[in-house]
Chains A and B, each alone.
Chain A
Amino acid sequence: MTLEETSSGRWTDAQRQHEHAMWAALEQMAPDDPRRGVLRDELITMHLPLVHHLARRYRDRGEDMDDLVQVGTVGLIKAIDGFDPSRGLELSTYATPTILGEIKRHFRDRTWALHVPRRLQVLQAQVTECSDRLTLELHRAPTVRELAAALEVSEADILDALDARTAYAADSLHGTPDDDSIPSALSTLGSMDEGFESIDDRETLRPLIEALPDRERAILQMRFFQGMSQSQIAEALGISQMHVSRLLARTLASLRDGMAQG
């Protein structure tokens, strides 16, 4: 019996009593009692639907669901091992922040992969900010030289920061929901088929493009079939050019993977 199997998504009284009995039994057992492991496993299994439920909140962030469930389960196990039933809390209440904590940490570690030094992370944020500012001033995207001068770092540092961004691109957790929508004017863009007439592999491509999020599809169309620059797209969508670049790179990579499989 698991959380999800109950119609309301909540524990039935019987389930709750069963869990309480398990905790009571654990209390009575010596630390080295081999039956502890069996009960612990059962508690973990019972609460896995909670992990799935919490992991699903992050399913659109570009990470594999299995990975999220796996790190979430680590959080669940930590919660079970640290749980004190005498405090009167339900395990699910106690475990939720621990599971979410592990999932969020996974995003922090993954998106800023373990390999990107802190210095570059900071510089990358500065480059993004400075690039936006200079774009307004210059009415075009700045060059690496201009960014290096403005931030008083070497051109190599700027390149490293740009490289780190593309190498470990992943969706930001800090984006607002609006960040993922596109202005309504853009959702009425003409059919992509117009630009596609001359493409041989369009039949393979079509389902892949249709499966893209609206914003990614709009960026693809604006860049490749309407000849807009990344900066112009950024302005149209109200996001930074660097963000456009990141989304474009990711979209092209996913299309290429999709076509290789298709």
Chain B
Amino acid sequence: MTDKVTVTFAADTRNVALARTVAAAMAARADLPLDQLEDVRLAVDEAVTQVLLAAVPGADVTCTFLVDGYTLQATVAAPTQATEPPSTTTFSWTVLAALVDSAHSSVGDGVMTIGLTASRGLVDV
């Protein structure tokens, strides 16, 4: 079963909670156990915060959640003037990367993107 939800909101820290809530709902659709669900919630919080910090003032942040079976993919993107993706040697990135199975960041065409993937462990399925 494939399921896709996209939310777009103004680059304002007040909207981070919104992204967290949608992330948790989508993690539930991927049937992730509660601890992984909470990890995803925290990871999306970190990702949105990082993208927000680099976003052009007044820009929109777009979060896309894709559920495919027991896998959740989330991408967080916003227009930026940065030319480099967020450093992967910060504490924030260390936390982000530890919370999900994989995390990547990129900047291209003036848009910063952070992508996350969380999959339910095969052992449980």
> What is the 8 Å Cβ interface bit string for chain B, positions 29-47, against chain A (1 contact, 0 not)?
0011111111101100110
Of the residues A159, A163, A200, A245, contact of B90 by C-beta under 8 Å? A200
B33 contacts A163, C-beta separation under 8 Å: no
- Which residues of A have CB within 8 Å of B45? 252
Roughly how many angstroms separate A202 CA and B92 CA in the complex, as a whole number?
Answer: 11
Whether, in the assembled complex, B81 has its beta carbon less than 8 Å from a beta carbon of chain A, the answer is no
- The B-contacting residues of A in range 216-250, CB under 8 angstroms, are 223-224, 227, 229-231, 241-242, 244-245, 248-249
Roughly how many angstroms separate A227 CA and B97 CA in the complex, as a whole number?
Answer: 11
Q: Write the chain A residue with the least CB distance to B32.
A: A143
- Which listed segment binds A: B3-11, B17-25, B105-113? B17-25
- A-side interface mostly: helix
Number of interface residues of A (CB under 8 A): 37
B98 contacts A223, C-beta separation under 8 Å: yes
Whether, in the assembled complex, A48 has its beta carbon less than 8 Å from a beta carbon of chain B, the answer is no
Interface, chain B (partner A; CB < 8 A): 17, 20-21, 24-25, 28, 31-39, 41-42, 45-46, 49, 87, 89-92, 94-95, 98, 124
Given contacts A140-B33, A167-B17, A199-B90, 16 further A-B contacts (CB under 8 A): A143-B31, A143-B32, A143-B33, A143-B37, A144-B31, A159-B21, A166-B41, A198-B89, A199-B91, A201-B90, A202-B91, A224-B94, A224-B95, A224-B98, A227-B98, A242-B34
Interface, chain A (partner B; CB < 8 A): 131, 140-145, 147, 155, 158-159, 162-163, 166-167, 198-202, 205, 223-224, 227, 229-231, 241-242, 244-245, 248-249, 252, 255-256, 259
